[in-house]
């Protein structure tokens, strides 16, 4: 009989701890604002213009007067330096004749 009382007491204590953790976790979630939508730039939420609208913009004389000044992206130059990758499988180079 003592074992059953200890077992029921242990179960009750365990249930109280689980419910307390559950309610604390839920209350902290509701107080934190969701910022997932704030991270996205605003231009991603706008609709893509129709092709007819883009043709009007491209055919505009002011758009055609624009001059190319410089590249938007800097070119990436790849150099061979450093040691060979030891995990790359062995590749034999064949000489062209």
Q: 58 CB contacts (<8 Å, ≥6 apart)?
A: 64
Domain ranges within the chain, ordered by starting residue: 2-64
pTM: 0.29
Residues 16-40 have pLDDT tens digits of 999 999 888 877 655 555 555 557 7
Residue position matching structure tokens 């839920």: 26
How much is the mean pLDDT over the chain? Answer: 78
72 vs 52, residue with greater confidence: 52
Question: Which two three-digit tokens encode residue 80?
Answer: 């061979």
């Amino acid at each position: 009989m003592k074992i059953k009382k200890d077992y029921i007491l242990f179960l009750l204590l365990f249930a109280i701890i689980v419910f307390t953790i559950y309610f604390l976790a839920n209350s902290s979630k509701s107080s934190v604002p969701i910022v997932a939508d704030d991270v996205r730039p605003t231009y991603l939420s706008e609709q893509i213009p129709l092709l007819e609208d883009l043709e009007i913009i491209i055919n505009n004389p002011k758009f055609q007067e624009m001059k190319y000044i410089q590249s938007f992206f800097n070119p990436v130059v790849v150099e061979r330096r450093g040691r060979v990758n030891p995990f790359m499988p062995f590749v034999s180079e064949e000489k062209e004749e």
